Structure 1
Amino acid sequence: MSSKTWVIKLGGAVLNTENAAKALFEVLYEQHDAQFVIVHGGGSLVDSWLKEAGFASAKHQGLRISPKEQMPYIVGALAGAANKQLMAQAISVGHKPVGLSLYEAGITASQKLKALGQVGQCHNNADSIINDLLSAGRLPIISSIGFDEQGLLYNVNADEAAAAMASNLNAELIFMTDVEAVLDANKQPLHQLDTKHIDTLIAEGVIVGGMEVKVKTSLHAAQHLRRGVYISSWQKPENLTALLQGEHVGTKVTP
């Protein structure tokens, strides 16, 4: 019986909070009968790098418009600084991380929409080194930077990247986000969401922006994986422990 694999998506905000990632890595280090793959974003870091370089940041339906001339900064922030900061925190706890882009992880990218510039969508291929790394006891930490067959660089939404990764590995999927759960109109946590419920909340303007992308991506992943996908808060490492032990915390998105 092979151990269970979990893909855990960490939002960029984890990097802005001292030792937040370290606390999560400590939880993972204590789990002996599971394997983990980390997929991360770094939106706030990208924002500050672009601002310092004199670029304006724009979003379209929750996705960052990524013109070619901004890509060196986006790649540097995500695949460089954010990835290595996470590696550093993982190493300090005792993990043996390997920093990767989506390409090595068996995901190629292609342009999503011309209007978004170098924003990529994911395509799974069988050419991944993730299982080899897991077998070798390493912790893959994957930035959401992708390449196409011609070697062009793409900025992929990290939630979508994590969903593609989970489908590639047929793994369980957890989105660690800034909020405890998806909230209803009265700002109360929703423990379970399905297609109909999600459509209604989006139509009513309750779920908007980045959370809309996250929820739609979770639903798409849940349909694809044929199992529930979890949205929970990174601010409470104990939530992660509970999720890994099969308890229900945060929001479970089901097809």
Structure 2
Amino acid sequence: MKVIKLGGSLLEQPEALSALFQSLQQNDDDIVLVHGGGALVQQWLTTAGLQSEKVNGLRVSPEQHMLYIVGGLAGAANKTLMKQAITAGLKPIGLTLYEAGVLCAKQSENLGQVGVCQTSEATPGLLADLLMHGYLPIISSIGFGENGDWFNVNADDAAVAVAATYNADLLFITDVEAVLDGTGTPLSHLNSESIQQLTQAGVIKDGMEVKVRGALSAAKRLRRCVRIGSWNVMNNPFSGTQISE
């Protein structure tokens, strides 16, 4: 199984999404998609007249905001991806982390309904059945706890949790072909040491630094390499940037 985490920016790029799903249509691997959609959630909250703030990159999610957060992520964002997948001839099915066998819990009272994924040993169950019958699971980063509370989960963390639960490979699909060096040349491989060096030199910075550090954290947790790249990484295992410890 391969778990693909889709960067939120791709939701605003129909052509890139179309290319991704076309490549998935030609791929024989068991694929599971995990996505967020922060920009869409922010739009929904703003339209509703609700103030939203972030703490260390996490959106504070009070209970009164959750209708809009769930609607944006498990609703509009998820169904936008389903629409593109159906157009490409695939059989998508929208899920939350709960259906994928991943339970969540509250991270902190100060963050409201921001959730963290709990370690579990889920049986393949539903996902295995869906994959066997040719479905493409598309999982939003909305999670549930044992008592039914719903949570807004960081999408990167959600993807790592799904990959860890099913011992799957993990790919981070973004809007760039790879991590670039100081001359704009794609880097084929990075590890903890080279990431530290390039970050200190200002080569890896801003949004890319967040992506790289997230991939490095995932590689450490999964104890296997994680790849960052654009949609064409699906058909070319040598494209993108491989991140290891």
* TM-score normalised by structure 2 residue count: 0.89
- 1:14 counterpart = 2:10: yes
**C-alpha distance in structure 1 between counterparts of 2:205 and 2:150, whole Å:** 28
Unmatched 5+ residue regions in structure 2?
none
The answer to whether residue 209 in structure 2 is matched with residue 215 in structure 1 is: no
Which residue is 1:95 aligned to? 90
Whole-Å separation in 1 of the counterparts to 2:41 and 2:183: 32
| Counterpart in the other structure of 2:235 | 241
| Cα distance in 2, alignment partners of residues 183 and 51 from structure 1 | 35
Q: Using the alignment, how far apart are the partners of 1:43 and 1:219 within structure 2?
A: 22
The 3 A distance-change label for structure 1 pair 185 and 60 is farther
CA drift at 1:98: 1.1
State whether residues 10 and 38 of structure 1, in contact with CA within 8 Å, keep that contact through their aligned partners in structure 2: yes
Aligned to 1:121: 116
Query: Is 1:49 the counterpart of 2:13 in the alignment?
Result: no
Inter-CA distance 62–27: structure 2 relative to 1 (3 Å threshold): same
Q: Deviations over 1:189-240 (max 9, x none)?
A: 4432212333455566665565444333322321233221011124xxx333
**Matched letter for residue 157 of structure 2:** E
Letter in 1 for 2:49: G
Distance 1:150 1:231, change over 3 A: same
Instruction: State which drifts further: 175-184 or 39-48.
Output: 175-184
2:137 is the alignment partner of 1:137? no
- Structure with the bigger percentage of strand: 1
Deviates most, 193-202 or 119-128 = 193-202
Partner of 1:69: 64
> Kindly tell me: are residues 193 and 51 of structure 1, through their superposed partners in 2, closer, same or farther at Cα, counting changes over 3 Å?
same
RMSD of aligned C-alpha atoms? 2.2
Of 143, 146, 149, which aligns to 1:149? 146
Which string of whole-angstrom CA distances, capped at 9 and with x for unpartnered residues, describes residues 113-143 of structure 1?
A: 3332211111243155211211121110000
Structure 1: distance between partners of 2:198 and 2:54: 21
Q: In 2, Cα distance between the equivalents of 1:99 and 1:25?
A: 15
Shift of 1:47: 1.2
Please give the alpha-carbon distance, in whole angstroms, between the structure 2 residues aligned to 1:106 and 1:133: 13
In the TM superposition, residue 67 of structure 1 has moved relative to its aligned partner by 2.0
Cα distance in 1 between the residues matched to 2:140 and 2:26: 24
Report the alpha carbon displacement of residue 49 of structure 1 after superposing the two structures with TM: 0.7
SS of the counterpart of 1:103?
Answer: coil
Residue from 225, 241, 244 that aligns with 1:251 = 241
TM-score (norm 1): 0.86
In the alignment of these two chains, the number of paired residues is 243
Looking at structure 2, the residues matched to 230 and 93 of structure 1 have their Cα atoms a distance apart, in angstroms, of 24
Closer, same or farther in 2 for the Cα pair 1:21/1:199, shift >3 Å?
A: same
Unaligned runs of at least 5 residues, structure 1: none
1:160 Cα deviation from its structure 2 partner: 0.9
1:29-68 Cα shifts (integer Å, max 9, x gaps): 1112x11001111111111111111122322222222222
TM-aligned CA distance change 1:48 to 1:224, over 3 Å = same
Work out the CA distance in 2 between the residues paired with 1:64 and 1:81: 18
